[in-house]
Chain A
Amino acid sequence: MSAATAPVPTPAPARARPSSAGGHLPGVARLALVRAGVELRQFWRERDAVVFVFAYPIVMLAIFSTVFGAEDQGTDVAQIGYAQYFLPGMVATGVMLTSFQQLAVSIAVERDDGTLRRLRATPLPASGYVGGKVLLTLATAVAQTALLLAVAALAFDVPMPSDAADWVTFAWVFVLGTATGTVCGVAFSSLPRSGRSASAVVTPVVLVLQFISGVFFAFFALPSWMQTVASVFPLKWIAQGMRSVFLPEEMAALETSGSWQLPATAGVLVAWLIVGLVVGVRTFRWRRRDDG
């Protein structure tokens, strides 16, 4: 470092070039919007993904309601139709599919197919990329849930809540659940080794959570150890929050605690939101894990 012959250290980047003076770097919010436009177009044009995301909860609702249509759910406390009991779980599962599963798989795939490499070479920051994903997730989650509720109400005669307070609960559980699923999806996307293995790694996680979280089976009917395990993860809480919206008040007696536990729901979801955010920010990679 002391050698007099050493080349003159380059001074701090002087923006010597007139072209760069012509514009400032675009802000993250604007970039997220640009990315959201790109993401929406790509998502919408990949028909199979659209069909899966939108049809899965509806098809499941249809199958379960048809097969078990004759059996009412509940005890002597309250009796409701199967479709009504099943709907909150499907709303929760839809939120998880569009946020967690979609993001974890799509980011892993884009890490593989050159999308992230190409974006990395541009001035687009990671926050702009993820921001676009968040907006896409929000748009698809809203559309998918609206469609599911419409089908449930019109085709399966599930009564919609008339109380404004229920819709307020619905709104915050939906938004918080989607946000949590999104950040966890971003964090989880770093786990699969390749884009091809992404579905194989992510789907079992989603499937197991669906079975133990009271989506396919009534939560109160599950073994208590399973309930305990499920209580650690967000899906159980999203489903329970949605039950508080779509099931009659008396059904709260069927919950393991005997109540809807909305504060606990908020607490668990916020905790996962923070964990997902921290892990996601720390582990986000533009390149594959095994790539030098």
Chain B
Amino acid sequence: MTPTTTPTTSRPAPPSGPPGSPGGPAVRVRGLVKRYGAKRAVDGLDLDLATGEIVAVLGPNGAGKTTTVEILEGFRARDAGEVRVLGEDPARAGRAWRARLGVVAQDSHDQAELTVAESVRSTARYYPAPRDPDEVIASVGLAGKAGARVRSLSGGQRRRLDVALGVVGGPELLFLDEPTTGFDPQARRTFWDLVLRLRDTGTTILLTTHDLAEAAHLADRVAVVRDGRVVATGTPETLGGPGARTPLVTWTADGVQHAERTDTPTALAAHLMATVAGADGEVVDLCITRPSLEDVYLGLVTNGADA
């Protein structure tokens, strides 16, 4: 099980220190492999989460995100690789370990006949040191719905209940799997504030999402997964390396469109002004853009892909 190095870009110093200590690794994955028949859903994946940080795992559908997360949660067995979550191997960890995790999975439609309060209170009782259920309900903005049947909740309210159920045990590590799918912009913003408050209370969060704005807003670090591997990690600002952020200057001269990547766009613009500007001093269609996280992400997941 030799740890393999992933071609990462501008990765911060790997987390170190004893598990559970501040700044120590909450999650450490090396060379993770999961096969479904002949297909390698996860193919040598490496991932680190330091205690107290939010890491967003991005990637197209079928890239292996959900499989990876389910292995970390102890739902699925792996075929190869080294996995440590809160210092334990999820494949062998027991109830005491589960008590330290929170999981917010995708599309659950269970417990429809319970009320919000019953649902959160009964779940709290599975844990050794739960949070106060009523406070948790209030923190996700469902205080007014505490007596309502789960069946009657809207999609967004249902999702916030999922989060309440995921955090009521007082987890050290929280898994959020595409938490804001189907939210309206305002609900999404409220939800983000909730996640950041959780982080501020010391919860480590592993977030999977398709929403690049969400990743940019919430994540301390981003890991992009493609074909079962992490192809890049970094802060949302540095992901993809400096090259990926090189500003792009586009303009039109003599009816021909031009594009040039440069670290000195201002100088290029000045040069264009002096050389190709018209009589009015304008360069036709001049535009300077800095690639967004989405542009960088799309570059990472489409580069060299067969499709």
Contact = CB atoms under 8 A, between A and B. Distances in A.
A and B pair up: yes
A10 B76 CA distance: 21
A13 B126 contact: no
Main secondary structure of the interface of A (DSSP, over half): loop
Interface residues on A, range: 35 or more
Instruction: Please classify how large the interface on chain B is, using the bins under 10, 10 to 19, 20 to 34, 35 or more.
Output: 35 or more
A41 B20 contact: no
B301 to A, nearest CB: 23
B307 interface: no
Nearest to B82: A7
B110 A113 contact: yes
A23 B128 contact: yes
A113 B111 CA distance: 9
A113 B126 contact: no
A122 B2 contact: no
Of B110, B111, B172, which is in contact with the most chain A CB atoms at under 10 Å from its CB? Answer: B110
Contacts, number: 124
B128 A20 contact: yes
Contact of B127 (A15, A45, A122): A122
A174 B124 CA distance: 35
A276 B111 CA distance: 27
A114 B76 CA distance: 15
Contact of B98 (A34, A42, A117, A122): A122
Contact of A42 (B111, B123, B125, B166): B111
A208 interface: no
Interface stretch (B99-107, B179-187, B243-251): B99-107
B110 A22 contact: no
B99 A123 contact: yes
A26 B97 CA distance: 14
Contact of A34 (B84, B88, B125, B165): B125
Interface in A5-63: 6-7, 10-11, 13-17, 19-20, 22-26, 30-31, 34-35, 37-38, 41-42, 45-46
Nearest to A114: B108
B66 to A, nearest CB: 10
Contacts of A10: 19, 84, 87-88
Contacts of A286: 75
Contacts of B103: 118, 121
A23 B149 CA distance: 30
Q: Output the residue of B67, B86, B126 with the most chain A CB within 10 A.
A: B126
A118 B84 contact: no
B96 interface: yes
A1 B1 CA distance: 8
Contacts of A35: 122
Interface in B1-56: 1-3, 18-21, 28, 36
B193 interface: no
12 contacts: A10-B19, A10-B87, A16-B18, A17-B20, A20-B99, A22-B128, A23-B127, A38-B114, A118-B110, A123-B96, A123-B99, A123-B128
3 closest A-B pairs by CB: A114-B108, A121-B103, A23-B128
